[in-house]
Amino acid sequence: MRDALRVRMKPDWDEIGRTSERGLRFLASHRISPQLAEALYMIISELLENSLKYGVYATEKERVALSIRVADRQVIVEVSNPFDESCRAHLETLDKLVQWIRGYQDPFEAYLEKLREVSRRPLQDETSGLGLARIAYEGGAILDFFVDEKKLLNVSALSTLE
């Protein structure tokens, strides 16, 4: 049984469902409970959606990279995408948001606060941060991110196996 799945995805919205399903099949091979698999499917999909919303795909060859690792009673979902200086504002927002979520002892409270905030925002506002708050609350995952030496933005969610 493989401990990790690595997929390179074309930055196309229609690929998200197929790639998330592939992640789900990998998780099923690790006999992860259906309930946790359901939560991980959501985590994979939300992170892939963010990578398409905020990534920079300058050439046809650029891809989103998804990695799922299962080890030591933990599942780590990591999504990376090309990134450049034009995304500086997004990086700052991401940093603030991750710190803000971590500041809550219970991610449910952070999620409720986001719901209240989003209910007052314009409908077309895509930068709500609701997806990350949902990952922390519904997915019970710890979020982290870094920019590597290849200028790839890596966002990860760590979930503990029940």
Residues near another protein, by CB under 8 A: 13, 16-17, 35, 38-39, 41-42, 45-46, 49, 52-53, 108, 111-112, 115-116, 118-121, 123-126, 128, 130-131, 134, 137-138
Residues 6+ apart with CB under 8 A from 119: none
| CB closer to another protein, 92 vs 117 | 117
Distances (CA, A) of 114 to 63, 96, 140: 30, 13, 16
| CA–CA separation, 156 and 76 (whole Å) | 7
Closest CA to 78 of 42, 35, 36, 48: 48
| CB closer to another protein, 49 vs 62 | 49
Residue 91 zone, left/alpha/beta (φ > 0; ψ -120 to 50; rest): alpha
C-beta of 96: minimal distance to another protein in Å?
Answer: 18
DSSP state of 106: S
DSSP state of 151: S
| CB closer to another protein, 114 vs 149 | 114
C-beta of 117: minimal distance to another protein in Å?
Answer: 10
| CB closer to another protein, 58 vs 123 | 123
| CB closer to another protein, 16 vs 76 | 16
C-beta of 49: minimal distance to another protein in Å?
Answer: 6
C-beta of 114: minimal distance to another protein in Å?
Answer: 9
